[in-house]
Structure 1
Amino acid sequence: MKVDSSHPSLESLPAAYACRIQNQSMISVSGDERRSYLQGQLTCDVNSLTETSLLVGAHCDAKGKVFSAFRLFEHAEQIMMLMSPESASASLQQLKKFAVFANAELQFADVQAVALAGDNIDEILSPLLPSLPDSEHPVSRYQALTIIKFDGHKSGYIIVGNDDELSTFVQGLNIPVYDNAIWTLLDVINGFPTLSNAAIEEYVPQMLNLQAINGISFTKGCYMGQETVARMKYLGKNKRAMFSLQGKTEHLVESSALLEKQLGDNWRRGGNMTNLYQADDGSLYVQAVLANDTDLNDIFRIKDLADTVLTQMPLPYDLDDK
C-alpha cells in the first residue's frame, strides 16, 4: 500500500483517509486463564470483555504509577492490548513476571493495524461491510479482520489483521493512506493517553484522564496499584490532569521539550508533554500533563521558543471523576 509521508494540519486532512498505526504495538494474551490473570493486573474490568466490546485501561506498578494505557479487545481468540511501543515493552516485561503462575502466555502480536477516519468514512465503509460497529458494540468482524470503532472529536475505525489482508482491504477503499504520525494527531485530538519512555511510571491513571474515559473500574476488586488509584478518587489527592494544546512554530519541536506557563510577564514551568504532532506548516498539537486546575484561558509555550503560543483544545469528555 502506497503511504503518503506528509504531515498535514488537522484542518487540511481529507474527508476520508487511512493511516498506518506503526507507532503502536500490540500485546497478545492467550491461554485458559488469560482473563483471570489480566483481571488482577489491569485497571479495567476484563471480566466484562465480550466479542463486541472495547475496553480502555491502564497497567500500573505496585505504587499505582502507569506502565501503559491501552485499548483492549478480542482478536483471533486472543486478548489484544494496543498501546505505544515504549509502554508495550515495559508492560510486557512486567506482565510476564507474574504470568508464570497462571495459564497465560503474553507476547508481541504478529498483526498490523490501520486507522480509518474522516467525515465521509462511514459512507465509504457502509456498502462494503455487513454492518459497522457502533458505540454500544464497538467491535465487529469482517472475514479475518477485526474492526474497532473509536470515539472522540475525530472518530473512526481501527482495522486489525495480518498485513496482506489489511493491505488488500485498505487499497480497495481508494482513499489516501498516511504514515503513523496521523495516529498521534488523532490520539491528541481525542484525548487518549500515549506514553513515551519519559512518561512511563510517572503518573497515576487519573493524571492521564483514565477515569474520564471509563478506563478504571472502582468495583472490580484488587489489581496491581489499586490502593493508590482508589486513594486518588476517594481522598481527592490528584492535582494533575492531561490536556490537549495547539499552536504554531517555525522551529522543529522535540517530544522531550518542557512546557512553560505564562504568569503575568513571566514564564514558569507548566507541565510535561506525553505526545506531540507537528504538521508540515508548523502547526503543533500537544498532549501534556498539567495542573488539573488549568484554566481555558491559560497560555503555554515550548521552553526557549518564544514564538510558540499554545492554548487549550476542548477534550471530548468531562474531566470530573466518575
Structure 2
Amino acid sequence: MNPRWCNFLPDIPHHSEATQAAQFDALKHGSFATISTDSGIITCSGTDAIAFIQSQLTANITQSLTHTATLAGYCSPKGRLLATFLVWKDENCISLICSADVRVSIQKRLSMFLLRAKAKLADGTNDRALLRVGGHSVELVLKQYFSTLPITPLSITHSQTAGTLVCLPNASTAARARAHYLWSIPVEVVKHVWENLLNVPNLEIIAPELVHWLDVQSGVPKIVAVTQEQFVPQMINLELIGGVSFRKGCYPGQEIVARSQYRGTIKRRLFLAHLDDGQPKPGQELFESSDKQQPCGHVLNVSHSPEGGWDCLVEVKLMARAADDVHLGQVDGTRLKFLALPYAL
C-alpha cells in the first residue's frame, strides 16, 4: 500500500466473527467499500505503448480498449503464465492490474523487451489508489464523479478528475447479479472520495481479504508469486473468459498456447470448490484417492466463505474432477465440494 495516501484512510477492520456476517451481507446485498491491498499497477505510456503491450500479452488489447477492459495473461517462452492482468487504456497510458507480489518482477521483465520501442513502464501505485466498491448507495456517490456508470462486466468509464471505474465480472447467481467495481483513483482526490464514501448511509467497510470472495465466485483466476510458471492459459480457463486471442500476432509462448488449443487435448481445467475446514493456500497440491503419488491439481485463489470454511479456485485434472474425489494436501485431506462456475467449460 502506497504511504502517500494510505495514512489518511481509516483502519480497515480485521476479520472477526463479530463482523464477518455483516460484511458478507454487504457484499451480497448491501453497499461496501474497501482498499485493494493485494493489487499492483503497472502503467505503460508513450507512442508505442499499445503496440508493445499487444506484443507481450495473450489477449488482443487493440480492440475497444478505451471503453472496455480486458483480461490477459503474460507467459514465459514455454507458454506458462507469469502473471494475469486486468488491462485498460486511460487518457495517457495503459494500466495493467496484477497481483502485488509479482508486480516488481513482471515490470522488470517487461522492461527487458522494450528495446527501441517508444514506451515507458512505471509503478502506477505511485500516483493511484485502487478501491473496491459496490451497492446501490455507493452508486449514488459514483454518480457524483462519473457521468455514466459501467453496467456490463469489463466495461469502463473515465473521469478527468476521478480516474477510471471498471465493472468487474460477476457470478451469475441472483444474489450477485448487481455490479461491483474496481475504482482507480488519482492520489490527489482519493481522500475526498473516501470521506464521501464514509458518509454513505448503511455502507460497510469490508476487510480486504473478504472481498476476494467476489473474485473467487466470478471464476476469474489470478496468478500470484507461488503459482507462476505452473499453468498454460487453458488450464485455468483464461481463453474461456476472453483472456486469450488466437487471431492476434505473436507474443511470448504463443506457439505453445496455440498448440495446446488446436493440436493437444486439454486435460486440466479451473473449477470452483468449497472446503469446510483445512485452510487452503495458493499453490497447495490436490490429490485423488486413487493416486497417492502424483497430485491431480493445485489451488490458485482462496477466500473466506459466507457459510464458513473456504471457497477457492482450483486447477484439476478432468478425470479427477469426474471422479469427484479430490482432497487438499494429501489423499486423506479435506475433500473438495465442487460448485458451479458462472460460465460453461
Counterpart position of 2:231: 203
Q: Structure 1 residue aligned with 2:25, among 13, 28, 40?
A: 13
Counterpart position of 1:85: 100
Cα distance, 1:99 vs. partner? 0.7
Question: Contact conserved, 1:61 with 1:224, CA < 8 A, in 2?
Answer: yes
Counterpart of 1:56, as a letter, is L
Counterpart position of 2:240: 212
| Cα-to-partner distance string for 1:261-310 (whole Å, 9 max, x where unaligned) | 3459x897331111112359852011111113554771433225967332
Cα distance, 1:107 vs. partner? 1.9
Pair 125,138 (structure 1): closer, same or farther in 2 beyond 3 Å: farther
Counterpart position of 1:115: 132
Question: Contact conserved, 1:64 with 1:228, CA < 8 A, in 2?
Answer: yes
Cα distance, 1:159 vs. partner? 0.5
Q: Structure 2 residue aligned with 1:149, among 137, 150, 167?
A: 167
Counterpart position of 1:248: 276
Question: Contact conserved, 1:117 with 1:156, CA < 8 A, in 2?
Answer: yes
| Cα-to-partner distance string for 1:221-270 (whole Å, 9 max, x where unaligned) | 21211111111111133211111211222x55444433233459x89733
SS in 1 for 2:112: helix
Question: Contact conserved, 2:68 with 2:155, CA < 8 A, in 1?
Answer: yes
Q: What is the count of residue pairs matched by the alignment?
A: 316
SS in 2 for 1:276: strand
Pair 114,236 (structure 1): closer, same or farther in 2 beyond 3 Å: same
Q: Structure 2 residue aligned with 1:274, among 300, 307, 329?
A: 300
Counterpart of 1:13, as a letter, is D
Pair 96,137 (structure 1): closer, same or farther in 2 beyond 3 Å: closer
Mapping of 1:38-53 within 5 angstroms? 38-53=53-68
Counterpart of 1:261, as a letter, is E
Which structure has greater helix proportion? 2
How far apart, in 1, do the equivalents of 2:31 and 2:319 lie?
36
Cα distance, 1:5 vs. partner? 2.0
Pair 146,31 (structure 1): closer, same or farther in 2 beyond 3 Å: same
Counterpart of 2:62, as a letter, is N
Counterpart position of 2:42: 27
How far apart, in 1, do the equivalents of 2:36 and 2:242 lie?
23
Counterpart position of 2:259: 231
% same residue:
22
How far apart, in 2, do the equivalents of 1:115 and 1:97 lie?
32
How far apart, in 1, do the equivalents of 2:336 and 2:142 lie?
38
| Cα-to-partner distance string for 1:72-91 (whole Å, 9 max, x where unaligned) | 01234110100112332332
Pair 252,311 (structure 1): closer, same or farther in 2 beyond 3 Å: closer
Deviates more, 1:72-81 or 1:87-96: 87-96
Cα distance, 1:218 vs. partner? 0.9
Cα distance, 1:135 vs. partner? 2.1
Q: TM-score, normalised by structure 2?
A: 0.81
How far apart, in 2, do the equivalents of 1:83 and 1:137 lie?
15
Q: TM-score, normalised by structure 1?
A: 0.87
How far apart, in 2, do the equivalents of 1:254 and 1:295 lie?
19
SS in 2 for 1:86: helix
How far apart, in 2, do the equivalents of 1:10 and 1:253 lie?
24
Counterpart position of 1:302: 328
How far apart, in 1, do the equivalents of 2:243 and 2:282 lie?
25
How far apart, in 2, do the equivalents of 1:70 and 1:243 lie?
19
Cα distance, 1:10 vs. partner? 10
Counterpart of 1:151, as a letter, is P
SS in 2 for 1:98: coil
The RMSD of aligned alpha carbons is: 2.9
Asked if 1:165 corresponds to 2:165, the answer is: no
Question: Contact conserved, 1:86 with 1:196, CA < 8 A, in 2?
Answer: yes
